[in-house]
Homo-oligomer: A and B are copies of this chain.
Amino acid sequence: MPHAARPTVTLHDVAAAAGVSVSTASRVLGGSSRTVAPEYQERVLAAAATLRYTADASARAMRRASDSITLIVDDLTTPSIGMVVAAMEREARTAGAFVTVSSTGGTPDRQLETVRRLRALRPRAIVLTSSRLDADLVGGRLLGELRAYERDGGRVVIVGDTDMPFDSISFDNHAAARALGAYVAETGHREVVILAGDVARANVTTRATGFIEGLRAGGVAPDSIRVVHCEVSRRGGSEAIRGSLGGFTDVDAVLAANDLIAVGAMSALRAAGVSVPADVSVTGFDDIQLAVDVMPRLTTVALPLADAGAEAIRLAVREGTEPAHLTMSGHLVVRDSALPRTRPR
């Protein structure tokens, strides 16, 4: 064997076994537009099956366009990513493409390295998911790499907020957060804590400002809104609540930047003897599976994750050339964790 992972049975072998030329075999197996005689066709197919022939994608890629799409994500364990990937795979199948995923851990360095590495594979498209992708990341080298990929005929799609000049799909976090804030205000809440997450995660902080706008518009006094930063996780929500329990005597709503944070907050509140939603309302954001599994079920904002995934693939395989920027809006999902309240003034 010449070296690992090189085919031992090639098109040549199939052609020989079928007693036809390599060209004919290629035409049968490669789905050419040219017709070949039925009997030849049959012989080639039979030979390929018995030899378990698989066309070498590398060699094939040298002559025709690739059909693989690579997805780059920060972290595979994010609850929402699963749905996006599933939708992408479904959509890709209808387009005859194939999705493959790489994770970077979210650090710009590894994002760059991953793009470089994947670019060598000459996929049909690269889809990047990240909370925020800035053009000047890693000294602009990520942008440069992506541009070079595009120059070579590749297609870049970004799912998330970005200022890069590629196709992008983003969620209108601000508007959705504003709507949630307004809803909370309208349902009579007047003393609110916002669990704003980490300042480094841009989409999360956008939500915090949206919350504030909605609350203010709904009549909540600026002084009655407290913003607490925390880790973006279940634990972060718990700790934030535990850490500021002292000042919570009059709070009637907790708005978390994220379902995970909200769930953590709920459990900490319950542990402290505060009833949700009877004493305090809690809301989340994202509508992950957990949101309907917990008790009480979480009032939150649903993001059209599956739609975004499918749309990303559609952008990735389309022919058009000018960059498209799509914004998808979330919608309020009212469940049990937030209760309208009328309180004495």
A residues near B (Cβ < 8 Å) are 1, 3-9, 52, 54-62, 64-66, 68, 70, 75-77, 79, 81-83, 85-86, 89, 98-103, 105, 116-117, 119-124, 144-145, 148, 151-155, 233-235, 238, 264, 267, 271, 289-290, 293-295
Contacts and interface: CB of A to CB of B under 8 A. Distances in A.
B3 A65 contact: yes
A252 B8 CA distance: 61
Contacts of A233: 293
Given A4-B153, A102-B100, A58 B62 contact: yes
A59 B66 CA distance: 13
Contacts of A103: 85-86, 89, 101
Given A76-B76, A81-B76, A293-B264, A5 B123 contact: yes
Contacts of A144: 52
A151 B8 contact: yes
B238 A52 contact: no
A293 B234 contact: yes
A66 to B, nearest CB: 5
B3 A153 contact: yes
A151 to B, nearest CB: 6
A77 B79 contact: yes
B295 A234 contact: no
A8 B338 CA distance: 57
A271 B116 CA distance: 51
Contact of A1 (B55, B85, B116, B153): B153
Contacts of A122: 5-7, 56-58
B154 A5 contact: yes
A144 B9 CA distance: 15
B293 A5 contact: no
Nearest to A85: B76
29 contacts: A1-B153, A3-B64, A3-B65, A5-B122, A6-B122, A52-B144, A52-B148, A56-B120, A57-B121, A58-B59, A60-B120, A76-B76, A76-B81, A76-B82, A76-B85, A76-B86, A76-B101, A77-B82, A86-B103, A89-B103, A98-B117, A99-B102, A100-B101, A100-B102, A233-B293, A234-B293, A238-B293, A264-B293, A267-B294
A256 to B, nearest CB: 15
Contacts of A105: 86
A291 to B, nearest CB: 11
A5 B148 CA distance: 11
Contacts of A7: 122, 152
A271 B293 contact: no
Nearest to A237: B293
The residue in A65, A76, A105, A293 that gathers the most chain B C-beta atoms within 10 A of its C-beta is A76
Contacts of A57: 58, 120-122
A119 B76 contact: no
Given A58-B66, A86-B103, 8 more contacts: A4-B155, A5-B152, A6-B65, A57-B120, A57-B122, A58-B58, A75-B82, A267-B294
